[in-house]
A and B are shown apart, each in its own frame.
Chain A
Amino acid sequence: AQKVTQAQTEISVVEKEDVTLDCVYETRDTTYYLFWYKQPPSGELVFLIRRNSFDEQNEISGRYSWNFQKSTSSFNFTITASQVVDSAVYFCALSEMYSGGGADGLTFGKGTHLIIQP
């Protein structure tokens, strides 16, 4: 089973629409972190947000907002008033304890390709 599921492979919206990218995760750890990264067409991976498992407060940063709900194991990402520059692949990722006792880096979802049409 996937540890991080991004069920939406591709989303296409018209500029200025709001769009929500879904992320569902699976872990047995009580301490874990969730991330969102953006990969624009240029290919680099850009960090957007990190949230730990003990902080369920929603976060807003400009047009971006994140809704973390432990009850449903979800960490969804909403872009308000989308712009063409938001077009990218967005990855949700999980950081949890590795079996060896350290951290195993990030486990990524398969990504959601967001297309914002002018």
Chain B
Amino acid sequence: DTAVSQTPKYLVTQMGNDKSIKCEQNLGHDTMYWYKQDSKKFLKIMFSYNNKELIINETVPNRFSPKSPDKAHLNLHINSLELGDSAVYFCASSFANRVGEKLFFGSGTQLSVL
């Protein structure tokens, strides 16, 4: 059983399109995250949600809109895709919104914008 699953694994699309990445965790965790890994492998947090509430929104363009229908799901919708959005997007979850919580990561979604 996959603990944190995200779909799709690969996403190839044209500039200007709108796309979504879905994430689900079956660990019973309260907190979920989206991270972006760029072509140089740098991992940076984008958003975090705790019990469906937005906690962190790091200077991410407002074309990116996370949605958490319940605490087991955190989806990422991206409008008007740009070339610079090409990256690997990782969903993660942790037990709580506390310092030191171990993050469990999904396997990543490789987004390629052409």
Contacts and interface: CB of A to CB of B under 8 A. Distances in A.
Interface of A: 29, 31-33, 35, 39, 43-45, 47, 50, 52, 89, 91, 95-98, 100, 102-108, 110-111, 113
Interface stretch (B11-19, B42-50, B60-68): B42-50
Contacts, number: 70
B76 to A, nearest CB: 15
Contact of B99 (A31, A44, A47, A89): A31
10 contacts: A32-B100, A43-B107, A47-B102, A47-B103, A89-B41, A98-B56, A100-B56, A103-B97, A105-B94, A108-B43
Nearest to B101: A103
A105 B98 CA distance: 8
Nearest to B103: A106
Contact of B102 (A43, A50, A111): A50
A95 B98 CA distance: 9
A43 B105 contact: no
A33 B55 CA distance: 19
Interface residues of B, number: 28
A106 B99 contact: no
Interface of B: 33, 35, 40-45, 48, 50, 55-56, 88, 90, 92, 94, 97-105, 107-108, 110
A108 B99 contact: no
A89 B105 CA distance: 15
B58 to A, nearest CB: 9
B53 to A, nearest CB: 10
Nearest to B40: A110
Given A35-B102, A39-B41, A95-B99, A102 B50 contact: yes
Contact of B44 (A39, A108, A113): A108
B45 A105 contact: yes
